[in-house]
Structure 1
Amino acid sequence: MKFTLTMIFVVLAQFTFADENGSGKKTADENKAQANGNLAPLNEKVLRTNKALKSYNEEYLVAPDNKAFAQSPEGHWNFRSDRVTVEMAKEDALAGCNKHVRPKESACVIVNVNGEWVQPPQ
């Protein structure tokens, strides 16, 4: 009986503490991002929507390098990764983001490159 209860506890503990990749361990990219302090700040001046913040933390940070994250002041966003060059990633992220920009709205700008925040033009 003790053995069964112990095994149930161990299984539940592993399940409870496992992260999204199911291993209970962070990936190398997640550790790198956390060590560099690159988890997105909850700051409307950087990422304007909850969907953008979630995508940044769950998808963008663990995506392969040569990546860029673009966003418009109205909250449209897009990112591209695993490009041949960083410049290609920037171009593709801007193109994807600007597809959603309506007339009279501001164009998208790059806000992050390879996990590093970029100061948008003022």
Structure 2
Amino acid sequence: MRLRWQAFLDKVQERGDYGSSQEAERAARTVLALLGAHLVGDVRAALAARLPETFAVVLLNPLQATEPLSPERFVRATAAWIEGATERTAAWDVSAVLSVAADAAGEELTARILLQLPPGYDLLFGRPHRRRSAGTC
């Protein structure tokens, strides 16, 4: 089920402790545009189907990435796209947006998303250790 625009923004604003919905929207647009460059096929389409339509369009028309970014480089790229952001504030932005996206996606789809991303994104999605395979501690 597709999450409503205001519900999504309200959750991002709460988790990111933003002073306005405009700040939450700016973070969401940037993070989802970067994320869209890292997801492919039915996983990206399935996530888009659960996001508000405007954010689904952002996810499906991503910023270009020449290679998959590590979580650290993803945060740095976010900082570069958000005016006045630092790596610390960008990490906050990324976690706020991706944790809300993971809630919208549900556990099964989030697990599929994490399989398409380099190791370490589970923390950014607020799902530590979700990616572990059988036999690892």
- With the shorter chain as reference, the TM-score category is 0.3 to 0.5
More helix by share: 2
Greater RCO structure (CA 8 Å; 6+ sep): 2
Q: TM-score, normalised by structure 1?
A: 0.33
More strand by share: 1
Q: TM-score, normalised by structure 2?
A: 0.30
